[in-house]
Every structure is written in structure tokens, then in C-alpha cells.
Chain A
Amino acid sequence: MAHGPAKGIGRWLFTTNHKDIGTLYLWFSFAMFLLGGFFAMVIRAELFEPGMQIVRPEFFNQMTTMHGLVMVFGAIMPAFVGLANWMIPMMIGAPDMALPRMNNLSFWILPFAFALLASTLFMEGGAPNFGWTFYAPLSTTYAPDTVNYFIFGVHIMGASSIMGSINIIATVLNMRAPGMTLMKMPMFVWTWLITAFLLIAVMPVLAGAVTMMLMDINFGTSFFDAAGGGDPVLFQHVFWFFGHPEVYIIILPAFGVISHIIPTFSRKPLFGYSSMVYATASIAFLSFIVWAHHMFMVGMPIGGELYFMYATMLIAIPTAAKVFNWVSTMFRGSLTFETPMLFAIAFVILFTIGGFTGVMVAIAPSDVQYHDSYFVVAHFHYVMVAGAVFSGTAAVYYWLPKWCGRMYDETMAKLQFWISFIGFNITFFPQHFLGLAGMPRRYADYALQFSDWNMVSSIGAFIYGSSQLLFMFIVIRAIRSGKQLSEPKTWEGAEGLEWTVATPAPYHTFTTPPEVK
């Protein structure tokens, strides 16, 4: 028989309910988002003016490293796993995830991973200081001893991701409602299914990379040490064989979210559903064969360089198809601009700009001038922040009413959108200029000609950062005292099984599967 949640802390510790676990993931990722954001504020405060004012260079490097690690592994990835937990069973008409106990485990090991990682900040030698890409030998021979905590932290995160992915694949392939064929699945489910396969493929590669580091550091091997017959560039190949698919792991579910929100507020079905599915699959495939475009300066042979350039340029085709599909969905629709739609439109615009700079950095000869400069920093923040974070924010506004049966304050949410949008662009657009003018990334201090745009960028960062506190306030206020809703459909144009259940979504949904025509 259906029953409600357990009482007290035990509900959260022992829960096997996909909605509870989704909630845990979302709150955890938001906490990490604030932590990673705090690190970013330290970085931007130090770079406000030339000269060292607030921190020492060695601590600055810890900040850039921890910002990257916490945002990628702690904030963005768990946020989308949280959304998957909440939404996939409701979208495919399943009562829960296929493997509920493993679901509990894959969440609850995460806080330990990040406790390990963050504790290094308080240890002798400090936190990891070798960049989130942790290139050897800076991360091996030359690393502080605390690198071992980082390695075990990464192992635990990897285990969590792999378990989460297995669960998603098992759920999607086995528990769809009768009649829901693969080509009738909602886009968010499709993008997550493909993402889950990517995760299972590359997380073990990351685990391999950090294990080789562990051996080099503690057990006298020389995988990445030329003096012992190893090769520092091997590290980069292994890392980016994980790292490139990783960026699609982050962005594909974001594509999925946008593919729900734009049709809803355009009151028109998604344009080119099947081409969206094929585009997603092609992007996922291409992500495995382009990794060395992150390494155009390592001295690859010309043939390798050309191959990776051409292969990388191909990614523009399916990605462009997606953008065209979203725009065509809006075309001749009946548009309204509630907050989720505002974030979704901003996503399309800013992600496209990030895509343009992506094509630019793909061109190997001109990458000579972009590589490891602020141009690259600007590029990947356009796809990661305006891509993944905007999409995640849009998702929260879009589904929050379904989750808690209460409405957020639309006026304040729109205000939050505009502050985010403006703050984001003030922060990151000038970083294109800084990079083109010759400022390398991961610099604790810089020459005087970079002063002005850095100051502008820092001001933007403080604006953008504060808009996230406003976001937290809006969400908490909605949960505690937002206007109560009871209609199954919050949004006029919303389609999908999740909008057929009661609002707020009951603790157990679809205990008997719905029929999909």
C-alpha cells in the first residue's frame, strides 16, 4: 500500500524514494554551487585590481582549482542527477527508480567525497592547487601531500556517478509505461539516457587517471614522469578522453530541459523531435573522438592536429541543428515569457555565443592565440554557466510548482533573471577581450593593460553572485509560503505525464502505470 514519508532525519538518511533523493541531490548541489561561487568571488576579488591584495598566489591557485572541481563535480552534475531522479520516473510513468537502494547509496557517498576534498583547505600544504584539469607532473611530483585526499574524493564521485547512471539506464529501459516507445520518450529522458551511457564509459577512465597518479606519487611508478620512461602528455590524453565527454555529460541534460520549456511556453510541439534525438546521439558519439583539441599546443604531429581539428568542427553541425530546432519551435508559436522561458531563451542565445567561440577555438592555427587564455575561460563559462546553470535554474522554476504545490513570486523571479543575465554578461563578455589581448588563464596577477576589463568582469561577478542568493531566497519563500496550487498543470502549454499527476506530486506516483497512446 502507498504510504507517506517516514518522520524525522531518518526519512532523508534511509529514503529510497526517488523524489526524496532528487530533493537531496538538488539541495546538495545548491550548497556546492554556493561554495564554488564563494571561491569564484575570492578569485574575482583578487583580480579586481593588479597586484596581490587579498590572497597569496599559492592560495589563489587553490581557489581556481577548487572552484572548477566543486562546480563541475559538486554543483552541476548532481543538480542534473537530482532533476533526473525527480522527473524521469514521473515522465515515463514509473513508480520509482529501478534500483532504489543503490539510489540512496549513490547520493549519500557524495557528501563524503566533498568533505574529503574540502577538508584539504584546512590541512598543511593546502587544497589541490594544480587546476581542475590536474596536469601531471604538477599534480604528482610537485603536488602537496593532500593530493591523495583529492584522488580518493574523485574515486568516490566517480562511483556515485556510475551507480546513478546504471540506475537511470535500468529505469528508462525497463520501466516505461505501456505504449511509451523509445521514440515517444520525452527529450529530457532521451538526453539523460545518452548521458548515462557517456558517464559509464568515461568515469572509469577518470578513475584510471587518478589511480595512475596515486601510483606515481606513492608507489614509485612513472606513468607520467619522463625521467622514469613515462610521458606527461599521456596524462592529458587520458584526462581529456574523460574530460571532453564530461562537458557533454553536463550539457546534454541541459538540452533536454530546454527542449521541454520552449515548447511549453510556445504552446507548440517541439520542432524536429527525431532530429533532436539523432543530434544528441551524434554529439555523444563525436565527444569520444575529439579529446585532443584541448591539447593543440602539446606538440602533436601535424596529422593528429588536423584530424582533431576537423573532427571537432563536425560537432558544430548537430549542435547547430538543435539551436535551429529550438528557434523553429518558437516560430509561429503563441509565446509567453514566464521566468523558465526567460532563462530558456537566454540559454539559447548565450549557448549559441559559446558555440561560436567553440568553433573559433576548434581551429587549430588560431587556437595558438586562444589556448589557455581568458578567451577560453569566457568560452566555457558561456556554455557551462549560461548553458548548464541557466538551464538548471529554468528547470527549478519550471518544475518547482509541481514538486511542492506552491508558486514562486513571478515578479521577483523575473528580477532575478535580469540580474543574472546582465551580471553574467558583464562578467564573462569582457573576458573574451582579455584573452584576445593576451591574458593567460589561472593568473593570480596581471600586467597593467588588463586592469580595466578585469575590474569590469569582477563587478559583473559580484552582481551575478548576489543574484544567486536572491534565487535561494525566492525558492525558499515559495516552498514555505508561496501561493498554493492544485491544478495538475501549472503551465497552460505543458505536455507530458508529469503534468497529469496531482499537484503537489504525491509521495508515490504511477503505482499503476498509465497508458500512453
Chain B
Amino acid sequence: MSRRANMLFALVLAPVMSLVFSGSVLAEEAQRWALNMPKGVTPVSNAIYDIHMVIFWICVAIGIGVFAIMFYSMYAHRKSRGAVAANFHENTTAEVVWTVIPALILVVMAIPATSTLLDVYDTSEAEIDVKVTGYQWKWQYEYLGEDVAYMSELTTPESEIYNTAPKSQYYLQEVSEPLVLPVKTKVRFLITAKDVIHSWWVPDFGVKKDAIPGFVNETWTYVEEPGIYRGECAELCGKAHAFMPIVVNVLEKEEYNSWLAEKKAQVAAVRELAKKTFTKEELMVQGEAAYNRSCASCHMGNGEGIAGVFPGLKGSAIATGDINGHLDVVVNGKAGTAMQAFGGQLSEVDLAAIITYERNAWGNDTGDVVQPIDVLKFKQGQ
């Protein structure tokens, strides 16, 4: 019923659409003026779509019935047409009928809803487990048992957000590294958060689950077509709630396997890099980039923070004081505040670069250089 349903949907809901779609219908236009939810690419998203359409049409039918009687009365029983009011004010039969019929309709709705819900909750027999962790304001994906984990952050530059550069096609829907999944494979997601509540939503999968600090939620998906799918954080999580998108790249199984192998090699290489000694200049360059990615959303690009909410680093006691104190805050975070523990999120190289950058940027000029090996020692020394 889908294509016809969609057309009717458009006709019923928005007659204005006929103007927009007159002439050639561009795919892009259709997406821009989208009216309905996507059917998606998983069995669950398809089932949800079908329930949605069934209930939508039931509502339309009831609506037409009720409003028809109402508009008929408004036309035929107007005083200006000489209508004289009847005096009836109850009718037990009618009242029983319009209590029983809606109850039956609800039962009809509840049956497919129950079976789909049971399906949504069935996380058994998954082939791959991915742990998804929400942070303010990025996602971490960890392939359980594979020793692969990485952060996925928004890459849309500030210049596009603040309108000094033209917006690209995937404005606010592009990330540093997408979640990669194999096609036609049951994947279980273990969803949690490290700070506030987030919610992991990919409309094309029909998957949405809250990421709650201290608790692990489970959900699953089975994607039927390779492709790139985009989603969002759906639970208000602070200032950059709108700026932590989700991108999932679904690959053929072989491609996925080679991606995973490559990823593992990369992880090993980064670990090796932690033993190297960098020059201050190298650390400052890398530090600035990493700072802007991971720190600037709170402490701001100019290191001044936001008064009353996020402390500034420019001239701050931590960024200009004892190095170990600085390491401690960055690696372990600060309990009871929005300052996260970055020790598990970033590589030693990035951590060293960020700390070096923070101790020398914005006129902090301590001259201190922190090497990745220092970070490693600090971590091991705890």
C-alpha cells in the first residue's frame, strides 16, 4: 500500500503540496518537503511504518466521519436558515455504541502494536555487539571483543553554523568517523552515557534508545541495504544537543571485515605513537586541532569559557599551575561537574597535545611541554 498510501497521505494532509510537486518532481525537493516518516531499511522500521500508516488511516476515517456530521450541522442547522433547536439531550444507545466501537478499534490497533513491540525488544542472538556511549556532545562506539573504540564528533565547522561560510550538503549531519556496520547482520547495541541522558536515534533503522548514565540499555538492528544513514541525539543534553549527529556506514560483509582489520592495525599504530617524542611545535599544532574538537564546545575556542557555566582556561590556576594537577583533571575529569574524564576517550598523543596547547595558548605561556609518554606514566602511576 505504500506508494499509494504516501500519495494519498500527501493529498489529505497538505493540498499545498500539489503546487510544489507540479512539474518535475526532484528527489531533493521531495526530501526537503517530506511529509511522512521514512520506511527505513530494517524489518523493524518497516513494521513501525506499517502500524503508523494503519493508525493514521483509522484516524483519518474517524475524523472524516465526526467532522462530516459537525459540518453538516453547521450548514443545515444554522439559525439563519431558520433551524429550530430540537430538545433531545441524551440517547443511551448512541452513547453505548460510541463507547464500544472505539474500544474495539483500540483492540484492533493493539494487536500489531504488541507483536512489533515484542520484536523491538528481542535482542537475542546478535552476531555483533556495539557499545554506544553518549557524551556531551559526541558519541563513542566500541566494538565489544574487538578492542576497537573511537569517538564520533560533528565535523561541520563553526563558520557554517555561524553563517560565514556556505552550508554544505550534510550540514550538521557529518561526523569525524561514522559507526560502521555489516549489512544483513543482527547487531546488538548496548547504550549508555557518561554525563547526562542522551538518546541514540537513527530513523532509517527504527531505532531510538535513551543513553542513561549508570545504566546500560539494549536494542538491536538488522540493516538490509548498504548505505550511509544519518540520525540525531533525541534527548535534550545541554548546549550542543543539536550538534552531536549520528552517521552509520553500512557495508557489505567482506568490506566490513577488511575495515575492521584496518581499524585494529590503526589502533596498534596509535599506541606505538605514544612512545615517540614530539617537538613543542608539533604538539601545539595537533593540540589546537584536538582542543577544538574535544574541548572548545565548553571552554570555547578562545579559552574564555562561558561565565557562570563553563570555567575559562585562559590564565586559570589549573592550566598555568602544577602539571600533574592539570593531567589529573583532563584524564580523570572532575566529579560533580560537566568536566568529563578524557583518559578513556582520547589517545595519549591527543591528551599530551591538548595539555601542551592549553598551557601555552592564549598567553598562558608556561613553556611546559607534555609528551605522550608523560601521560602514559601518569595513567599507569594512578
Contacts and interface: CB of A to CB of B under 8 A. Distances in A.
A506 interface: no
B262 interface: no
Interface stretch (B229-237, B284-292, B367-375): B229-237
A372 B242 CA distance: 13
Interface in A245-275: 266-275
A323 B95 contact: no
A336 interface: yes
Given A299-B210, A305-B117, A353 B66 contact: no
B306 interface: yes
Nearest to A139: B196
Contacts of A61: 236, 238-239, 241
Contact of A453 (B33, B197, B336): B33
A302 B219 CA distance: 12
A366 B55 contact: yes
A273 B89 contact: yes
A449 B98 contact: no
Given A366-B52, A368-B206, A124 B308 contact: yes
A123 B308 contact: yes
A328 B90 CA distance: 9
A369 B52 contact: yes
Contacts of B230: 447
Interface stretch (A45-53, A381-389, A399-407): A45-53
B208 interface: yes
A299 B113 contact: no
Interface in A12-63: 50-53, 57-58, 61
A271 B98 CA distance: 13
Interface string A298-329: 11001001100110011011001101100111
B234 A126 contact: no
B172 A444 contact: no
A208 interface: no
B163 A317 contact: no
Interface residues of B, number: 107
Contacts of B243: 57, 445
CB-CB nearest 4 A-B residue pairs: A226-B214, A125-B308, A124-B308, A299-B217
19 contacts: A50-B167, A52-B163, A57-B241, A131-B236, A141-B337, A226-B212, A273-B89, A299-B210, A299-B215, A317-B102, A324-B95, A330-B74, A335-B83, A365-B116, A365-B120, A368-B206, A372-B208, A429-B14, A453-B33
Interface of A: 50-53, 57-58, 61, 123-126, 129-131, 135, 137-138, 141-142, 144-145, 225-227, 231-233, 266-275, 297-299, 302, 305-306, 309-310, 313-314, 316-317, 320-321, 323-324, 327-337, 345, 348-349, 352-353, 356, 359-360, 363-366, 368-369, 371-373, 429, 432-433, 436-438, 440-449, 451-453, 493
Interface of B: 13-14, 31-38, 45, 47-48, 51-52, 55-56, 59, 62-63, 66-67, 69-70, 73-74, 77-80, 83-91, 94-95, 98-99, 102-103, 106, 109-110, 113-114, 116-121, 136, 160-163, 167, 169-173, 195-197, 199, 201, 203, 206-210, 212-215, 217-218, 230-243, 245, 306-309, 335-338
Given A51-B161, A438-B37, 4 more contacts: A135-B236, A141-B338, A268-B87, A269-B89
